[in-house]
Chain A
Amino acid sequence: MNIDEEFGRHLPALLAEEPMPPSTVDIGLAMTAGRRRRRVRHVGSAIAVLAVITAVPIALQSQRPQAPPLALPSSSPSMAGNPAACEVAQTAAGFLTFNTDPTGRHFAGTVEDSNAEEVARHQPAIWRDGKIERIPIPAGNSGYVDAISASGMVVGRLVGNTGVVVFAYANGKLQVLPQSQDSRVSSVNASGVIAGSQLFEGHWRPVRWRSLTSAPEKLALPDGANSGMASVVTDDGRVLGSAGFAQAGSYQGGPYLWTPDGKGSALPTPGGLSVAVAVGGGEWIGGQVPAKDEASKPDAFVLNTRTHEFRRFPNILLEGEMSVSAIGWFIGQRLDNKGQRVLTDGTTFITLPPPPGSAHVVLDSVAADTTVVTGHRTEIPYAGVIWRCH
């Protein structure tokens, strides 16, 4: 098996839990329509074929009800301590993913236009004053939101027939970042510094754009590492992510910190434990400790990037891109409780209830002060969800 075949063997893991919306397939109607077609074939009239096709009752068209927006509290209460409860504050109809900025004031995500051509089906959008504002992108591309800054700058990817580039959107202007081919962006700080990763000979390398016009700066990897990803850039300019050694289907590595001058150092884990850093917030980052074997579940962890305190939790899966708050609370699902979505510090679990009329949600981000959590419903009609926590 060559390296590409080995790569293919691991593809199902990415989609193993791909949520499917409720079915709209109707077996009874297939039989009814099939009987009509048999009769049409029997008669052998081309005109009759057209008649049957156009006779499909319009009344059977499914409606896609819009999730009604709920009342949003006029202001978010400031919270100094740990949260005690969370409630759904608002739903944002149409969003496939839905992120907040670290302050919990700006919201953006990806929406789907099922009438568009395949390559242009997904579009980046901002949620403002209860409405979707689509970010205009070049024709023939899909766009995906990856992060939003405290100043409201949105960063993400444009995916088209010619590949992937990174964009930033602020003040009504979309800009493709220099030399961003085959890149992914993961974070943007209040000053507009952008952290991301770039594919180089089949492996991700961490990069940083200091401005929207500057070329990406490669962040150094330690000796022996062939792979790294930048997950977060903090407002003080630190970049947090991971560095390690990757080959098809496996990865050995750990958390890594780059200071504003570009120097890197590994963040310690207990016993040099290999972990996959997937998410961050700034003060804390988090991810999963790989499972021992295929029968085991990976543990979640969070790591304080200054004190190096490491907390490990079984039976929790972190979710989202920015999923650890400044006080170390994080969002995820409880594997020991039917996948219940929670905001937690690992010992106290605060339920994040689905909005009315929904059964399932997936979480995307938590604000730095833990007062706002965002996610999205996975059933059609898709919708972003904002929870307020207090």
Chain B
Amino acid sequence: MKDAEYTDFVSARLESLRRLAFLLCGDAHRADDLVQQAITKLYVRWRKLADVANLDQYLRTILLREFIDERRRSWAKVRLVAQAPEAAARSDDAAARLDLRAALLQLPKRQRAVVVLRFLSDLSVDDTAAALGCSAGTVKSQTADGLAKLRRLLGDELIAVASGRG
């Protein structure tokens, strides 16, 4: 596959990838570094990926492995120049967001990845299992454990108020 196809493919998915990475690691700078690592790895293999049926899943899996396997690396080494469109900064309740972000960070990495993929990236159990390289049963049990802990940390009311549901 050609470079132009790579550029188009990545450009179209960049914001959703950044958001996924941000939810996983809780830090915008590190999120961009994770994405940068993932799309670099994708490019290395790009010419050999013509037969991959689900490139979205493939790229997401690279990103997840980067997140789960990451060590304390020198983040500054891959810090890059800013170039993207300005942030769509709209917010109702910074405190509620920080609550959820803080609560997510209390979950073990794999549990956090499962919750983020299932409920914030809207993946099915099977797709989540494929992305994480584990069984559907593991995804279900990790989901149950992760949600129970989040619910204990956040309570139902925060969700109801944030949803604007009465």
Contact = CB atoms under 8 A, between A and B. Distances in A.
B65 interface: no
B94 interface: yes
Given A22-B84, A27-B10, A276-B160, A34 B46 contact: yes
Contacts of B102: 122, 142, 144, 159
Given A20-B19, A182-B152, A333 B90 contact: yes
Contacts of B85: 22-23
Nearest to A117: B72
A14 B159 contact: yes
A17 to B, nearest CB: 5
A12 interface: yes
Contact of A24 (B82, B105, B143, B161): B82
B1 interface: no
B26 A96 contact: no
Interface residues of B, number: 82
B89 A61 contact: no
B84 A359 contact: no
A187 interface: no
Contact of B148 (A4, A18, A122): A4
A154 to B, nearest CB: 15
B153 to A, nearest CB: 7
A41 to B, nearest CB: 8
B124 interface: no
Interface string A312-350: 000001011100000000000100000100000000000
A254 to B, nearest CB: 10
A319 B93 contact: yes
Nearest to B102: A159
A5 interface: yes
Given A8-B118, A161-B106, A319-B92, A246 B156 contact: yes
Interface string B137-155: 0000001100110111101
Contacts, number: 268
Nearest to A358: B89
Interface string B40-82: 1111101000000000000000000000000000011111111
Contacts of A133: none
Interface in A101-123: 110, 112, 114, 118-119, 121-122
Contacts of B39: 25, 27, 30
Interface string A234-247: 00000000000011
Nearest to A335: B90
A25 B14 contact: yes
Nearest to A34: B43
Interface string A57-94: 00011100000000000000000000000000000000
Contacts of A189: none
7 contacts: A4-B144, A4-B151, A7-B147, A15-B100, A22-B83, A23-B83, A27-B7
Interface of B: 3, 6-7, 10-11, 14-15, 18-19, 22-23, 25-30, 32, 35-36, 39-44, 46, 75-100, 102-103, 105-106, 115, 118-120, 122, 143-144, 147-148, 150-153, 155-166
**In the complex, the 9 A-B pairs of residues with the closest C-beta atoms, listed nearest first:** A360-B89, A23-B84, A34-B43, A290-B166, A251-B160, A19-B89, A378-B89, A4-B147, A13-B163
Interface of A: 3-5, 7-15, 17-27, 29-31, 33-35, 37-38, 41, 53, 56, 60-62, 96-97, 110, 112, 114, 118-119, 121-122, 142, 144, 146, 159, 161, 163-164, 182, 199, 202-204, 227, 229, 246-252, 274-276, 278, 287-291, 298, 317, 319-321, 333, 339, 359-362, 364, 376, 378-380
